[in-house]
Amino acid sequence: MTPPARIASAIELIATVDAAPRKPADAIANDFFRARRFIGSGDRRAVSERVWSLLRTRKRLAWWLGRVGMRVNPRMLVAASLLSEGWLLSGLVQNFCGGQFGPTPLNPGEQAALAQMEGHGLAHPEMPEAVRLEVPDWCVPYLQERFGDTLAAEMAAMDLPATLDLRVNLLRGTRQDAISALATEGIDAKPTPLSPWGLRIEGRRPVSTGQAFQSGLVEIQDEGSQLVAALVGAAPEMRVVDWCAGAGGKTLALAMTMENRGHIAACDVSEHRLDGAVRRLRRAGVHNVERHLIEPGDKWAKRRAGTFDRVLVDAPCTGTGTWRRNPDARLRLVQNDLDELVPKQAMILGQAARLVKPGGRLVYATCSVLLEENERQIDAFLGTQPGFTLVPLAQAWTLPGDPPGPGPYLSLTPGRDHTDGFFTAVLERTA
């Protein structure tokens, strides 16, 4: 593809994303490229990087377009994004060239407006804080309460592309085995600093098509998510529940720490997500997992109350900790989402707690950075569940080295820990 054709494809993809505001952009992009198989891998990567760069800076780009009197649309957003990265207006005019594959030429009004942005970066002292931080307006007070003086630094880290983290599957080999296998594929992988099973790759690489992934030696999993699985403390011969298992990412890690011995019940309300775990389990060589679909009126949990050593609740949440990986998610998040999720999390936590046997542990996790979904959720639970006590992070941490950050909980952030934002609380049933 020519540079104008790549720009035109980026404009088309942004328009497609805008047409489905509640659908994740990565799913839309997958459908978009699947329907255009004539676009080669290098061009797909270039178009995707252009679009994801725009999504990370969309509020600021829209603010600038409003400032220069332009209507915000995919075409002008792409043009403004290029200018913000150092392009000259003359370069835009050359690439907005029309023809069969290029975007329609810029009209005089568009050129005049864009000329006011030429030579400027994204920052401007008159920007409102929510625009400057690239977050929903309603979310600013919640984030200020959570991060205080480090808010700007943490939101800047959210604007950076996420690294590609892998978890080595010890059922298939060692971390050194994985490093060597990836090297033969031309992929340089370095050990992560916190997870003893983690590998980190800079940039976007097609790992899933290589032999290391296809053989089950590695799985794609953020280092923070690996640490959540580690805090469950699932060991061989235990009975374990992954209560919100989804497609099984943490289930796979739990099976690994259990050395394929014992029993895991992977539960979820979505049959589609549970079915999606089957191939992953087979590829990883996992055979101690039972999948269970949670349905209304289901007696499964009632019959198994108080019989599990470990119960993991990876609760549905706002996903505010994953914004660097899913920059479009911050554009979709509304106050009502948080208002609905908090009582839902409390209900799920209460249901899962019944499964824990005396002396067993309940582990609550989210990929959110908001206090309402994390610390306050646990405070509320402990206030109504006298049979549970909090296990401090220093006591629950069994990995090499010191736990990241102070306090009784695992609370990871992109700015401080270079992971997605994760929260984990470990609770023990005493009676």
- 228 and 203 in a single domain? The answer is no
CATH number of domain containing 416: 3.40.50.150
- 375 and 263 in a single domain? The answer is yes
Amino acid at 124: H
Judge whether 142 lies within some domain. no
Judge whether 406 lies within some domain. yes
- 285 and 411 in a single domain? The answer is yes
317 part of the active site: no
What does pTM read for this prediction?
A: 0.93
Final residue of a domain: which of 202, 220, 238?
220
Average pLDDT, the chain: 95
Domain count, the chain: 3
- 175 and 278 in a single domain? The answer is no
Q: How confident is the model at residue 214 (pLDDT cuts 50, 70, 90)?
A: very high
- 200 and 314 in a single domain? The answer is no
- 196 and 259 in a single domain? The answer is no
Judge whether 301 lies within some domain. yes
Residue 100 has pLDDT above 90, yes or no: no
Structural domain of residue 205, as residue ranges? 164-220
- 262 and 336 in a single domain? The answer is yes
Judge whether 157 lies within some domain. no
Q: How confident is the model at residue 303 (pLDDT cuts 50, 70, 90)?
A: very high
Judge whether 353 lies within some domain. yes
Judge whether 144 lies within some domain. no
Question: Model confidence over 264-274: pLDDT tens digits?
Answer: 999 999 999 99
Final residue of a domain: which of 127, 155, 179?
127
Print the SS3 string covering the chain. CCHHHHHHHHHHHHHHHHCCCCCCHHHHHHHHHHCCCCCCHHHHHHHHHHHHHHHHCHHHHHHHHHHCCCCCCHHHHHHHHHHHCCCCHHHHHHHCCCCCCCCCCCCHHHHHHHHCCCCCCCCCCCCCHHHHHCCCHHHHHHHHHHHHHHHHHHHHHHCCCCCEEEEECCCCCCHHHHHHHHHHCCCCCEECCCCCCEEEECCCCCHHHCHHHHCCCEEECCHHHHHHHHHHCCCCCCEEEECCCCCCHHHHHHHHHCCCCCEEEEEECCHHHHHHHHHHHHHHCCCCEEEEECCCCCCHHHHCCCCEEEEEEECCCCCHHHCCCCCCHHHHCCHHHHHHHHHHHHHHHHHHHCCEEEEEEEEEEECCCCHHHCHHHHHHHHHHCCCEEEECHHHHCCCCCCCCCCCCCEEECHHHHCCCCEEEEEEEECC
- 212 and 227 in a single domain? The answer is no
Residue 103 has pLDDT above 80, yes or no: yes
Judge whether 143 lies within some domain. no
Final residue of a domain: which of 178, 198, 220?
220
Q: How confident is the model at residue 219 (pLDDT cuts 50, 70, 90)?
A: very high
Provide the pairing of β-strand 388-391 with 422-429.
antiparallel
Question: Model confidence over 357-415: pLDDT tens digits?
Answer: 999 999 999 999 999 999 999 999 999 999 999 999 999 999 999 999 888 999 999 99
Considering the chain, what percentage of its residues have pLDDT values greater than 70?
Answer: 100
Catalytic member of 97, 244, 267, 367: 367
- 102 and 120 in a single domain? The answer is yes
Task: Quote the pLDDT of residue 298.
Answer: 86
d(CA 188, CA 180): 9
- 181 and 216 in a single domain? The answer is yes
Q: How confident is the model at residue 157 (pLDDT cuts 50, 70, 90)?
A: very high
Judge whether 263 lies within some domain. yes
Question: Model confidence over 60-84: pLDDT tens digits?
Answer: 999 999 999 999 999 999 999 999 9
- 182 and 247 in a single domain? The answer is no
CATH number of domain containing 197: 3.30.70.1170
- 229 and 374 in a single domain? The answer is yes
